Structure 1
Amino acid sequence: MAPAYSAISSYSRVQILHLLQERPSRTIVDLTEATGLHANTVREHLHRLIESGYVVPEAEHRTTRGRPRMLYTAATGPDAPSSPVARRRVREAAERGDLMRRVMPWTETGLPEAAQHQLDALVEDLQDAGFEPTVDQDALTVDLTPCEHARAQAAHRGVLCAVHIGIMQGVLTEAGGPLEVEGLLPTCDPVQCHVQLTMA
């Protein structure tokens, strides 16, 4: 089964996001040269990433005359800029999570409210990306097995994992709380993916 259609279902978008995670404030020209994609294709991919809250555009601050260039930065990772789309998605995920826990009080955990809201946002974001996450709230692990992204793009597993971890950390940071991504748990199976979280 191929990964569900999402902002990161296309490897070209993953590649662009990886480039922006490695170096922020890049232009379309930078990304075109780095990927070999046509500028219009890069624009379309950036538009999709911005709509999903993974990239933040900002007009260049110029001290000379001329039209400022648009600079693009990944909204992933602990020091990333905040995306208005990501803020809205985090808020709505927390509201849905709170409603579910009121209706089904047995789903309540012993985690602090801020950490629970982080998990609400993380699970929804992962589901939207085509994953079926299983969260162990005691061990603070997220099981994403099987990773259909890794299966479909086996040659690019390192880039995929880096981008997915960056996105997860970005969601946790945007939600605001004590949870952070510690890293991937080692495995010899390329489609197994277990992410360890930690309380900051």
Structure 2
Amino acid sequence: MTGGGAVYGPISSYSRVRILHLLFEAGTVESRPELTIGELCDATGLHPNTVREHLQRLIDGGYVIQSIEHRTTRGRPRVLYSAATGMPEASSPVARDKVAEAARRGDMMRRILAEEDSGLGREATYQLDALIEHLEESGFEPVIDERELTVELSPCPHAASAPEHRPTLCQVHLGLMQGVLNQAGGPLAADCVRAAARPEECTVQLRLDAA
């Protein structure tokens, strides 16, 4: 991903990766897409203060949303946490601001460089602006092939991670990228992490959905 192998942001800590993975999984359960700190502690084995610290960093980064439980009975409402997937019902104000700024900077750079239209369209171009900024903010140096719709992130700094951690890392990273694309709004989606012959290889395949 980066030449120096330094990763920042949500996937720089495997504890945060585990928390995000749990929140992404909870988001697939329509009846209960949120989790409490207690539930996250039970699932990860982490101390509540540690979980709170990780959650705050994820909220500040626009990756997690905090809400207060709506109660119909007496009792103190619980604080609930969910993954910011970029969909209308799970959108973070921080993430929205990041996407808007990415589009503004992208437009400025295109004017300076007098770049020609890629042919993908305005919405997809803004999606790529947001995705590139997200990846660069996380310490990566993405190379995007707009014709093949691939994002090259080799060499992957997670190559030395424990083999049993790699599937979760890849799944969470793909989910974060999809969240950015959803937040920007447009036809591009993060399809999959391509199978690789070597651990240091990482290529993400994008998909252009029909209008």
Q: Identify which range, 56-65 or 104-113, moves more after superposition.
A: 104-113
CA distance in 2, matches of 1:155, 1:121: 30
CA distance in 1, matches of 2:158, 2:79: 30
CA distance in 2, matches of 1:58, 1:25: 9
Match of 1:50, SS state, is helix
How far apart are 1:79 and its partner, in Å?
7.8
How far apart are 1:8 and its partner, in Å?
2.1
**1:127–1:133: 8 Å Cα contact kept in structure 2?**
yes
CA distance in 2, matches of 1:3, 1:159: 19
CA distance in 2, matches of 1:42, 1:181: 28
CA distance in 2, matches of 1:53, 1:149: 23
| C-alpha distance 82-131 of structure 1, shift in aligned 2 (>3 A) | same
Q: Partner amino acid for 2:106?
A: G
TM-score, structure 1 normalization: 0.94
How far apart are 1:147 and its partner, in Å?
1.1
How far apart are 1:110 and its partner, in Å?
1.8
Question: What stretches of structure 2 of length at least 5 have no aligned partner?
Answer: 27-32
How far apart are 1:188 and its partner, in Å?
1.7
CA distance in 2, matches of 1:157, 1:51: 25
| C-alpha distance 125-107 of structure 1, shift in aligned 2 (>3 A) | farther
How far apart are 1:184 and its partner, in Å?
1.6
How far apart are 1:190 and its partner, in Å?
1.5
Match of 2:37 among 8, 28, 34: 28
| C-alpha distance 162-109 of structure 1, shift in aligned 2 (>3 A) | same
Hey, what does 1:51 align to over in structure 2?
Answer: 60
Q: Does 1:130 align with 2:152?
A: no
Question: What stretches of structure 1 of length at least 5 have no aligned partner?
Answer: none
Hey, what does 1:15 align to over in structure 2?
Answer: 18
CA distance in 2, matches of 1:187, 1:105: 36
Q: Does 1:71 align with 2:84?
A: no
Match of 1:8, SS state, is helix
Hey, what does 1:144 align to over in structure 2?
Answer: 153
Match of 2:104 among 95, 98, 121: 95
**2:23–2:35: 8 Å Cα contact kept in structure 1?**
yes
How far apart are 1:150 and its partner, in Å?
3.6
Q: Identify which range, 173-182 or 79-88, moves more after superposition.
A: 79-88
Q: Partner amino acid for 2:192?
A: G
CA distance in 2, matches of 1:191, 1:76: 27
**1:184–1:196: 8 Å Cα contact kept in structure 2?**
yes
Q: Percent identity?
A: 56
Moved over 4 A (4+): 77-80
1:119-157 CA distances to partner (integer Å, 9 max, x unpaired)? 000011011112111000111100111110343454400
Q: Identify which range, 88-97 or 72-81, moves more after superposition.
A: 72-81
Match of 1:7, SS state, is helix
CA distance in 1, matches of 2:65, 2:190: 21
**2:91–2:183: 8 Å Cα contact kept in structure 1?**
yes
CA distance in 2, matches of 1:78, 1:180: 13
